[in-house]
Structure formats: C-alpha cells, structure tokens
Chain A
Amino acid sequence: MTISSPAATGYRQSAHAVPHRGWQTAGPARLAAENACARLAGCVRNLPGVLAGLSIGMVTWLGLVAQPIDRSATGGRIDQILSEVHAGAGIAPAALCSDDAFVRRIHLDLAGRIPTVEEVAAFRTLPDRAALIDRLLASPGFSSHFAATWTAWLIGYSNAYQVDRELFRRWLEQQIEQDQPFDSIATRLITASGSAAVEGPVNFLARHRNEPLIKVSRTFLGVRMDCARCHDHPFDRWTREDYGRMSLFFRGLEYRDANGIPSLGDRAIDPAAMNDGNRPRFLTGSEARTGRWRDELALYIVSCRPFARAFANRIWYQLMGRGVVEPPDDFSSANPPSVPELLDHLTDEAVAGGFQIRPLVRAICSSAAYHRSSVRPEGFGPEPFQRLFAVRMVKPLSTDQLIDSVSLATNTTLSMTHRRQMAYALAGGSPDDDFGETWQYSDTVQQLMRKLAIPVAAVEGPAESLYLRILSRDATPRELELVRGRTPSEIVNALIHGSEFCFSH
C-alpha cells in the first residue's frame, strides 16, 4: 500500500492493492466513487440481485471505494447471508461509507464519543479500518462506553429505590474490561445478593424490585411477559400460568432495608415440599429442583437458545441501530426476525464464542453491512433497505454518547453530578428507560449547560478546524461561505445543534 501525504496529493490516501488485512480505501475520488456507486446501484435497482452485487464488485475492482477485508469467517458469513437476501429482494445495498463517516461512526459505537481531531488525522494518514476496530476494542473507552450504555439499558438513569447506579456501572465496566462473557454477567445479575452499596450487580434487581420477571425476561430472553401478568398474551403463546409459574423463581427473594440501603437475600423454600404444578417453571418447561431458585433460573436462562438469540440481537441492534428482531426485547411469533438466517448465524456465533462480547462486536463491525453508507440509493424509500440492512440506519446519539461528544467538542470536563443532571435533563421524561429512548430537545445543549452552571472552555479556531473538531470532517466551500463572519462560539453552537452532530450515520 502506498500512502501519499494528503497535503501532497490533495487526497486522503491512495491504495493500489488490497493488502492482507484491513479496510482499504481508494482516496482519489472517494466521494465521487460513493456517488457513482449509489448511481450505479440506482440504475440496477430493477435488475436481478446478481447485477446489483456486481455494482459493488466493479467499484472495488476500480479501486474507488472502501472494501471490507474481513479476517473473521463471521463477518464474511454475515455479508454472504445479506448478499443473498438482497439479491433475493432485488435490491442493491447502499455504497460503503467514507473514511470520515467510518471513523466517526466507529468511535461513537465503540468508544461512545466522536473522535478527536488527532484521531481523525491519524486515520486519514493510515486508514486501516480493521486496525482501528481492534484498537478501540482494546481501549478503556470500549468497556466504559458499553458499561454506560448497558447501565442505561439495565437500570435506567435514575437512582430510584436507592440503587447505586455508579457502583453498578463500575461493576459492569470491570466485567467488560475483564472479558467476562455475557452469560456470566447475566448470571451475576439474576442471582446477586447482598447490599446495593457493596455488591454492584445487586442494583439490577433492586431497581426492578416490583416486577423482576418483566425486566429479566425482556433483558435476557427478549420476551415481553408484561401482558401475561393479567391475561394470556393476545399475540403470543404466553399464558398467565406461564407468568405465574416463572414469577415463582423470585418468590423467595427478599428486599431488605438495611439502614436506608436496599439489600437482597433469599428465603429458601424447598421445592420438594411443594406440590407438582406449583413449583417454579421456566418458559422451556424446566422446573426448580433445589432451594436456590434464582440460581436455577439463571442457569436455565443462560443455557437456552433464546438467551443466545437475545444477546446476539442486542449487540447487533446496538451497533447497527436496528435489531434483526426489532425492537430487540420483543421476540414473538408476531414479530419475526427480518433476516432469520442472519439471526441464526449470529446466535450460533454467540454460543460458539462462549458469549464473549468483543469477538461478536468485532465480527459485526468487520462486516460490509456495518460499513454501509447511510445514504440510500437514489429514489428508494427506507423499506426494505433498513429492514434488510442494505443501508446504514441513522441513529440518534444515545444520551451518554451525546454528553461525551458534546464534552469533547466543547473541551468541557463534566463532574459526575453534572453528568447525571444532564443525562436526566436530556432523557426528558423517561430517565428510567433504556438507551433506546433518546433525549429530547427541551433545552439547547448550551442552555442546559448554563442552567447547570457547567463551565465551558472557549473553543477557538478557524471554521475549518471547528468542522473537523465537531463533525469529524472537512467543511465544504459552501459551508465555509455560510459561516463567514461568524464567531467560533456561534459556529460551535450551530454545529452542535445540527442533526449531523446529533446522529450517527
């Protein structure tokens, strides 16, 4: 690979050959190539899928756009499945995204923030996408971001019921940092006991003390048992008896108030002393056999196929912006996967990988599906492109991503208190919901910061540098023309509130 200096060539990079690893992009006419690709895809939209697939191949052959060089069989299989699905549907997927779009996207997904100017520059110098994925996966930012995201998913944003949200987040971060597999994490969450101030995972059930089964089944099985609380599920097979029998696994769970702090423990009940038909029963039909019901429930959950499906789908959803089953906590006969083969494959990979998080994330991020542009071929609506992952979903930044990105863009260090207040404000009226719930613009970010008395360092510099700093790309001549005469503060304000900043695309 020959890399020319951007300054010397006027282009980001040039690549003459596909080396042994990594994403290679052809710089000379990258954007033009994307457009060409999109146009080409548009032209072939009525042709069979073979021809649609050819458009990408041709462009790659021409060395015009990035092409994923996937080191894992998984990434390859994902693309193979989707390629067949796209061909069957007679659609050509969107072109692959530009390097600038990729570097922003991957930082948001794996580090939870926009890239720094230096990181953008480094990637422009050496645009090895696979290497960047690996670097981010190994960085502390990955554990930190996934912990923040999952904390929002698992216990929301509030400290309701005296839970220790920060202890929980740190515990999760530690688990991810130590490469603990997800089945182990799930087991700890379901079986935790002790004080919420001492044992991080206790805070999960302490937070959901009123309806532990609802949250556990949604989170770890992707199944909504809510309806079956009161009546047989109208669109699924779950009955009130299913709900009642599975709820029994939590019957011995005691929430104690230890000097104002919640504490979890169990009152052991011998299932042998219970009549047949009254013992706790899992959705697979498995029944409790010992006095440790939560332990058994956890074992039944992490050993069943729906757990693997829900985990694989959750990771896919988090990275792609849409689950193969969407929403990701609603697996049901009425809501089948959009690409069943893909879900099967991801599930198999999750099981084969022992529920390790990083390998699955790496596999998904290495697939062409992940690298697709968010721009659909001209003339097409969102369907079936989004459902079949032929185009990148445009995702609003999660509350944590937004806070961290604003913080980075404005050179602001937020205290934990400010961070919590800001998350609460941005999460609007639903601070207890998971990260699928997005923030609302009741205030501008600046108004919010002023309201919270957050000191913001002045960001100075020419407009070009501000675009790079905030949007991770160069300003276009038209944009430079538009902002001429504006102060840096005005430009920062405008960019941070633009949809380009507030979305991952």
Chain B
Amino acid sequence: MDQISGRQRAVSRWPESPAQILLWVALAAAGANGLPRTAIAQDGMQPGGETAGAADLDSRIVAFIRDLAPAGAGDELYGRFLQAAGRRSGRIAIAGHLALLEEEMRQAAAAAALPEFLDGLFEKQGDQYLLRAGQAEFGKKLVEEIGRFEEDIGKVAGELKRVSEKLQGDGETEKLFRRAIDSDLTPALLYSRQMRETMYPGVDVIQRRLADAFAADREGKIFVREQAREAVARLVGQLQMAARMMPVMQREFDALHQEMHAADPLHAELKERMASGRSAAWLSFELASTGQADASGLINRYFESLEGLLEDTGEGLVILESARERVQQSMARSGDIGTRMKVLDQPLREFAGRIDEKRGPLEAEIKQLLQTPVGLVAMATRIDVGTMDASRYVRSLVEQVMDVDDAGKMTVRADRVEAVRNYARELLRNVRQMRRQLDSSSAVVDALADPELQTAVSSLAGRVIVAEKIRQRVAARQYDPLAAFAGEHFDRSESGLVPRPSAMAILSQIVDQAAKIEGELGNDDF
C-alpha cells in the first residue's frame, strides 16, 4: 500500500507550520462563538467529513420545484417565481437564498453550541451547574482526561524550559524563540495537536493517517478510495498470505522457544517475544510483503537465517556473541511495533468496524483482515503512534534546527535562522489566538458546582478539552436549509406545496435576482 506509506511522516517535523499544529485550537472556539471560519478548516471528527455536493443540492431544488403547486389566477408573483424557477438563473437564485439561510443556521448553532453542550451535561440550579443524572461516568472520564492532559503538558513544559535554558546566544532569533517557547500556553499548543494524537490515537487519527486509501461517506461509513483500490487489493493479498503463514511461524517460534536458553535478560526477552504471538504476526506480514508467493520457502529461509545467529550449547540455543547487536536492533524495532500495536488495537478495531462491507468484496475483506493480528501489525508498521513522549518530541524538534554539544548547549544553526524566526513568530501568533478563544469560554466553567470538575475544567487543559468537544459537535452538525425554507414558508395542499403569505417577500427577492442574472447573461462576449 504505497500510498499509505507515503503518508508517514515524522510527527515533529520542524518546518510544519505551527498554524497546522494549532489549527484545531484556533478554530475550536471560532465554531463555538460564531467567528468567521478560516478558509482552511480542520473538520476533525466530523462523521463524514463532508457536506452535500452541489449537484446533490441542485437535484433537491429541482425536486422541490416539481413539488410546487401551479400558480392560480391572481398569483402573479408566485407565477413569476415558478417561471424563474424553471430556468437555471432562478434555481441559482433559490440556491443563493438557501446558502445564506444555511450560513445563518450555522452561526446560530455555533452561538448556541456552548449552552447546548452544558444543557446536555448539566442541570442549572440557581447560578450553578450540576451533572445530570447518568452523566457521572462522563464527568469522571472528563476529569481523568484533563488530568492526563495536564500531566503531559507539564512534561512538555519541562522540556521547553530546559531548551530555553540551554539555548546559547542572545541575538534577535534566540530572544524571539525563547519568548515563543516560554509562553504559558505553548506546551498546551504543541501537545494538543501533534503529541496527543500520537500518544492516544483515536479512530480519527487512524482515518487521517490512512486518508490516502480510505475515506468516509456522509454517514461516516468508511470505504476504499478509488485511487487506492489496487493498492488495498494488494494489501489484502499480503494479509491473507500472512494470515496463512502466521500459525506456521508461531509453531516454529514455539519450537525455538523450547530450545532457547534464557542465559541473560536479552535471551529472556527474545524468548518472551517468540512466545507472544506478535513476532509471528509481524514477521509473517513482513515476509508476505516481499512479493514472493512461496510461503513455505520464505518461512524456511527466515528460520535458517535466524538459526545462523544462534549456536547450540549444553544449556540450549544461545545468541552468537557476534550477532547480539543485530538481535538487539531487531528487538528494538519489534518493541516499537509492539508498542504501536497496543496503542492501535482499539481504535483500529473501531475503524475497521466502520468499514462498509456492503460496498463490495474489497471492503468486506479488508474490514475482516484489519481486525486480525496481521492486520493490526500491518497498520502498526505504517502508523507511528505510541512511541513518542514529551522528551523525544522536543528533542526531535530541536535537532532539526540546532546544534547540541556534549554539555547539552544548543545553538541555532546558521542555515535555519530564518526558519526558527518564522516558526517562533507563528507560534506566538497562535498562542495569542488560543488565549482569546479560551478566554471566551472561561466564564461558564466557573459556575460548575462539583469542585473537582470545576477545578479540572477551569484549568488550561480543561478549557482546551471542552473547547475541542464543542468544536466536534458543531462540526458534525448537518444543516438542511431547503427543509427549513419549505417548512417555514410553504403549506402542503392536494396540488402540491403552496406558498404562505410570509414567503412573498423572499419569492419576490428570488424573482428579482433571477431577472438580474438573466440580464447579466446579455453580456456574452469579451
């Protein structure tokens, strides 16, 4: 699945704009308080991640027009509306009205998002909010989530503080960079986007990392993208082969495990890995991915080469001294894969569960295979999650732009001065934006009655998390301005939909706009 592997990228790649890193934060409250949406929005967990296509709306408008009752005598305006609606210009005018109506609905929903969120979770008693019955579990999980968030950003803050102290020089670049990383919001900003999703990936992360190959429809059902069907079919073939190889591999590992002597911790670790089942899954997939069809031959060759790293002793098989380094490297890699498998297990099951097997045999096959150990290992080799911590993240950022000496002193590299300055400036801009967004919601949480919840939610981590949850709800909401328009201004009669008097002003406006468009069409050359 070459497209998927192409998506793999270091999670802490330096030149990536902080704007990207922080985008969801910047937009979170924008969705909640009705601020204008930025041109490139991050829709995150929106189920389908899309809105209805233009053609879809057009066909619905056409169906609506067909459903209208004929104009009676004296319905001069309505008659002109029907005439206009029969032309493209008229349908555009109707669509234009609906577009503005949808914008109003969106803004109203965004403005009401916070009260609605609170109403769903809390009961207002006097000036305070109490968790509703049945929401206790949610409250508990929220407090835990916030606690974990705080703990993690505390580690990021510690790492950034260390960088600030070790950074040499006092020029404009260094001062600017220190200002950026010393900000109280910077750890939350960096953590909330990149680190968090790699440490605790949800199904949205899987979906994003596999976006080359999979997409979701409006109902959130996942399917294989047209451009990736061939690659996914190839992956299915590899997984099927790996699934056939895995029991054989495991039998071979079991036999070796019996013979291995746990001479030291390395041997003990190797024995444990052999017995775990993950090694058999990983190696089966790796061998199946070679493109060779001879499964038995592949297995035989693998174990022959493995035995070449071991020697028989009176106590059993031991690792050759000359092979210890290779074995350690391989075990480090397999350790990373194992970590990723643990972290990915649940979200990948959820992802696979959402694959729409009714779309076709390819979807059915990949859905089933992704829920097997070889499916899990295949994704673990491609999706780098779970192996990042605060220290590693900050170190990888620093290493891309600074030289670090043996004493840990850091100096901005001459060729990265401009990059560091730009990064710092963008970081500061986003910090300011984040502060504004979080301030706008801070007044509400003060009213929570539960002291533990109140403390958690009013913390920086709590405010970020609540803003995120609200953003997800707003983003997931679907609007139907046509239904709203028809419902508000038309009545059903035997002959079809009949406009109410309240519709006349709008119909007049649509007729007028359609006539103007028709007039514009007179200019047909340049």
Q: Indicate if the CB atoms of A164 and B43 lie closer than 8 Å.
A: no
> Contact flags (1/0) for B421-436 with A, using CB distance below 8 Å?
0000000000000000
How many Å lie between the Cα of A14 and that of B468 in the bound state? 80
Q: A164-B226, A259-B208, A306-B525 given as contacts; is B100 within 8 A of A254 (CB)? A: no
Residues of A within 8 A of B229 (CB): 166, 416
**B215–A261 touching, CB < 8 Å:** yes
Question: Chain B's nearest CB lies how many Å from the CB of A224?
Answer: 14
Q: Is A489 an interface residue (CB 8 A)?
A: no
Contact with A along B40-68 (1 / 0, CB 8 A): 11111110111111111000000000000
* Docked-complex contact A268 and B526, CB < 8 angstroms: no
At the interface, yes or no: A192 with Cβ under 8 Å from chain B? yes
Known: A284-B523, A292-B92, A417-B231. A263 touches B50 (CB 8 A): yes
Q: A197-B226, A255-B40, A258-B216 are in contact. List 11 more A-B contacts (CB 8 A).
A: A164-B226, A191-B55, A198-B218, A258-B49, A266-B99, A284-B520, A284-B526, A285-B520, A291-B99, A299-B92, A299-B517
Nearest B residue to A256 by beta-carbon distance?
B41
Q: What chain A residues lie within 8 Å of B119 (beta carbons)?
A: none
Q: Which residue of B lies closest to A188 (CB)?
A: B55
Q: How far is the CA of A180 from the CA of B97 in the complex (A)?
A: 28
CB distance from B211 to the nearest CB of A (A): 3
Query: Given that A159-B227, A299-B88, A417-B230 are known contacts, is A259 also in contact with B211, CB under 8 Å in the complex?
Result: yes
Asked if A305 contacts B102 (CB within 8 A), the reply is no
> Smallest CB–CB gap between B144 and chain A, Å?
25
- Min CB distance, B514 to chain A, in Å? 8
Q: How far is the CB of A31 from chain B (nearest CB, A)?
A: 45
The size bracket of the interface on A is: 35 or more
Q: Is the C-beta of A428 less than 8 angstroms from some C-beta in chain B?
A: no
Q: Which residues of B contact A191 (CB under 8 A)?
A: 54-55
The answer to whether A170 and B226 have CB atoms under 8 Å apart is yes
| Chain A min CB distance to B298 (Å) | 18
Q: Would you call the interface of chain A mostly helix, strand, loop, or mixed?
A: mixed
A458: interface (CB < 8 Å):
no
CB within 8 Å of A: which of B501-526? Answer: 513, 516-517, 520-521, 523-526
Q: How many A-B residue pairs have CB under 8 A?
A: 175
Residues of chain B within 8 A (CB-CB) of A283 are 526
Which residues of B are found within 8 Å of A188, using beta-carbon distances?
54-55
For the complex of A and B, the 3 pairs showing the least CB-CB separation, nearest first, are A258-B49, A290-B96, A260-B211
B residues lining the A interface (CB < 8 Å): 2-3, 7, 36-37, 39-46, 48-56, 88-89, 92-93, 95-97, 99-100, 102-103, 204, 207-212, 215-218, 225-227, 229-231, 513, 516-517, 520-521, 523-526
Which residues of A from 279 to 314 have beta carbons under 8 Å from B? 282-287, 289-292, 294-296, 299-300, 303-306
- Chain A positions within 8 Å of B, measured between CB atoms, are 159, 162, 164-167, 170, 188, 191-195, 197-199, 202, 253-261, 263, 265-268, 270, 282-287, 289-292, 294-296, 299-300, 303-306, 415-417
**Bound CA span A188–B42, Å:** 25
A304 to B521, CA, bound (A): 8
A207 CB to nearest chain B CB (Å): 13
Q: Which of A162, A202, A253, A255 sits near B212, CB closer than 8 Å?
A: A162
